[in-house]
Amino acid sequence: MTHVFRRASSVLLALALPLVPLSMTGSASAEPAPYRGSVEGQYTGVVEHGHAVTMAGEPYTTTATFDVHLEESDQRLTTYCIDVRTGLVEDAWYREDQWENYPGQGDFADPGKVHWILKNSYPVVDVADLQEEAEMARLTESEAVTATQAAIWHFSNSVDLDRVEQGPELDTNVNAGNVTHLYHHLTESAEELPNEPASPLTISPDVDSGLAGDTIGEFTVETSGESIPVTVEGPEGVEVVDADSGDTVEEVVDGDVVAFSVPADTSAGEATLVLETTAAVETGRLFKGEDSDEPTQTLISAEDSEIVIGETATIAWDSAGGTPPEVESTVDPSPSPVADQAAAPTDGGLAFTGNAVISLVAAALVAIAGGAAAVYLTRRRRARTGE
């Protein structure tokens, strides 16, 4: 379900805000700083509103595409929801993950068909081409968003489109027949795409240890980018090599497995492999909420987005004949909320649409009149170890 706010203070504050997409403007940057680690970002608002729908057996809800603002950069991703039964927590933090780690309700049995819909509908396919392919006329962008979101929910939650209504955030009237026609075109045409889209860049594991004179680690590189130059930060003589052949590696591509070669006469120390590149967060990458205590709607990337990304892997070693040091991973495991947590009822959670708005406004006015309401919003910043 879209536009669900978890806390009363957030709901009251939302009443004071216009029902329009949040600003997408960021500070200009000719060369964005590389983002390190698997892609992480914060939900900051709506990119584009769709209309309202009722999926069979589910509550009335609005549709939209959503903005995920990547941490430590001005780069942004456009996403759809893939779980109609879980609310979207305001300012929630998200991390890219694999389809198999989907944490929401419903079994997400057809992720390949969801992927097909994303690749063959709006915004990847523009409205003019989409209406031609679906053999229809006068399709609007908001109708395309609505039909695409409903088709995604059909395969992620096994629910059918029951009713289409005018979106409360939109001035333009909805042609329910257009939405229904495109929804059926997408769900009936969808094919099971065999492969999950590649990650922009990961190195796994991120740490290892050993002894001088040995080849240390087996680090697997996964990336949607092209050939990536290898940089080693460490003592002279330490090199990155192919894990099988032992040959020095100066660049890597998707699927390469590398290791560190440490000369036998090297004193105890550490070294880091640094990769930086421009790569795509490809259409169909899953983003799950990081806060297991407050499950949020799971999102999925709606179009390819080029980002500047960086990733590292670090080793530590003792001198020859010593004992390999213990090295702790710097990656936050961020466990997924399990399905029964996602299914838990939302305390006070209401869809910020339709009659819910009227009820919330009335409640807010009563609270304000009695002097009992204090509304504030502090932007949640992600806590990092050592900061």
What pLDDT, in 10s, does the model give residues 64-96?
999 999 976 789 999 999 999 999 999 999 999
What pLDDT, in 10s, does the model give residues 208-262?
999 999 999 999 999 998 899 999 999 999 999 999 999 999 999 999 999 999 9
Q: Tell me the average pLDDT across 152-160.
A: 97
Any idea how long the chain is? Answer: 387
Q: Which residues pair with 242 in a beta bridge?
A: 258
Token pair listed for 377: 């919003």
Q: What is the mean pLDDT of the chain?
A: 81
| In the block, residue with structure tokens 């933090």 | 93
How far from the centroid of its chain's Cα atoms is residue 312's Cα?
21
Token pair listed for 94: 């998200």
Q: What type of residue sits at position 98? A: Q
pLDDT at 319 over 60: yes
Report the alpha-carbon distance of residue 260 to residue 318 in Å, rounded: 14
Residue pair 127/141 in contact by the 8 Å Cβ criterion: yes
CA distance from start to end of the chain: 35
Q: For residues 342 and 185, which has the higher predicted lDDT (pLDDT)?
A: 185
What pLDDT, in 10s, does the model give residues 199-214?
899 999 999 999 999 9
In this prediction the pTM is 0.74
Predicted confidence band at 194 (pLDDT cuts at 50, 70, 90)?
confident
Helices (H), 266-371: 339-342, 354-369
Which residues, 6+ apart, have CB-to-CB distance to 362 below 8 Å? none
Report the alpha-carbon distance of residue 103 to residue 199 in Å, rounded: 18
Sign of CA pseudo-dihedral 29, 31, 36, 38: positive
